[in-house]
Amino acid sequence: MTKSKLLRMDNVGIVVESLNETIAFFIELGLKLEGRTMIEGEWAGRVTGLGNQHVEIAMMVTPDGHSRLELSRFLAPPVIADNRNAPVNALGYLRVMFTVEDIDQTLDSHQPTGRPVGW
């Protein structure tokens, strides 16, 4: 059996419309807000290829402390696409899955539509 080269999964990133509401949803699931900050300037844009960007991010950590969920709200440049209605066979991010005790109660207690605002 060969040894895996993968040591751990550090994070998954999601671009959201409403950072406050999405943070609240994940806190309700049991994740903890590890930190929140603004990332801006051309140096950050060189990493993403977006030029001079202004992004508010929040890092959520799972209860076991092993994985993180990075939430980003782009202020500049503006969001150019909305993949919430993309078909499941579209390229890119599709899902992040968690196990909860009662999915119906979890979704109903957050929003009547059962879907976090800003997704």
Q: What is the pLDDT of residues 41-80, one digit of tens each?
A: 888 888 888 888 899 999 999 999 988 999 999 999 888 8
Which of 28-37, 53-62, 87-96 is least confident?
87-96
Higher pLDDT, 103 or 93: 103
pLDDT of residue 112: 46
Average pLDDT over residues 29-39: 95
Nearest to 53 by CA among 37, 72, 77, 70: 77
> Please, are residues 17 and 119 in contact by the beta-carbon 8 Å criterion?
yes
The order of strands in the sheet holding 32-41 is 11-15, 68-76, 53-61, 32-41
pLDDT of residue 7: 76
DSSP state, residue 77: S
Average pLDDT over residues 89-111: 75
pLDDT of residue 20: 95
CA distance readout (Å), 107 to 16, 18, 94, 102, 103:
17, 17, 19, 9, 6
CA gap 59, 40 in Å, rounded: 16
